[in-house]
Amino acid sequence: MSGFESPNFTMIPNDFFDKHLPSMSDAEVRVMCVMLRETFGYQRNSKRISIRNLARATGLSAKGAWNGAEKAIERGLLKKSTDGGVTKWTVIVKDKSVVRGTTQVLNEVLQGVVPSTTPSIKERVKENKDGGARKMRPRNEMFDVLVEVTGTDPKAAGGYIGKTAADLSDYNPEKVRRWYSPGGWWYKVRCRNMDNPQPPTLAGVAKSVAQAAEYERTGGRKPIKLTNVVTA
């Protein structure tokens, strides 16, 4: 019989178990477990993670992960914001002094020194073979939107994301975010007949964005085709 691989641990507030757990849904519990691991487990109180990646980490569908997060927000355990085009989740700690007094692990977080996940200027400079340096081109807003709605890793597929973002330069990034976020066109219309709809891929966005734009332009109405029209 196998057990845990290591004695490492993540600090979890007792009232998560004592106060909230009995009334939480399965999706909400999974989302909060991942959020606690990704925040307190790394000595921070915030984490940038897309719905696609949150779904993978929790074993839920994108819709399920979104619903679980919304429930946690309503309960007052999570706060959602946007950082660099990617959803940022913050675990809310009501009485920070208690944590500060019982452990030193979260000192930096409690004092507002949250490790940044945004690449610094130094990280954006790459050394070339001659020993010189060249600056990477800054990412545009569409790039960040595509990372958010597809969950694609920018480190692994930055070039492909950049190319797709350039191809979609005629579209408004905020509209693309709305169309492909949970509750948007992709989930309500394109995947309406699917039991477990998944977030779009980069190729999926590129191929369907014109349809999403047309759907919004027409209000979802299909054009009327006139046939067998007799004219005098």
Residue-wise burial string across 64-74, b where 16 or more C-beta atoms lie within 10 A, e elsewhere: bbbbbbbbbbe
Q: Residues spanned by CATH 1.10.10.10 within the chain?
A: 14-110
In this prediction, residue 154 carries a pLDDT of: 81
Say how far apart CA 48 and CA 84 lie, in whole Å: 9
What is the third-level CATH fold of 14-110? Arc Repressor Mutant, subunit A (1.10.10)
Question: To the nearest whole number, what is the mean pLDDT of the chain?
Answer: 78
Q: What is the pLDDT of residues 156-208, one digit of tens each?
A: 787 888 889 989 988 999 999 999 998 899 998 989 888 888 899 999 999 99
In this prediction, residue 42 carries a pLDDT of: 78
Is pLDDT at 138 greater than 90 in this prediction?
no
Please report, rounded to a whole number, the percentage of residues in the chain having pLDDT higher than 90: 35
In this prediction, residue 96 carries a pLDDT of: 52
Say how far apart CA 84 and CA 118 lie, in whole Å: 8
- Average pLDDT in the 226-230 region? 50
Contact of 161 with 200, CB cutoff 8 Å: no
Say how far apart CA 65 and CA 59 lie, in whole Å: 9
Say how far apart CA 52 and CA 187 lie, in whole Å: 13
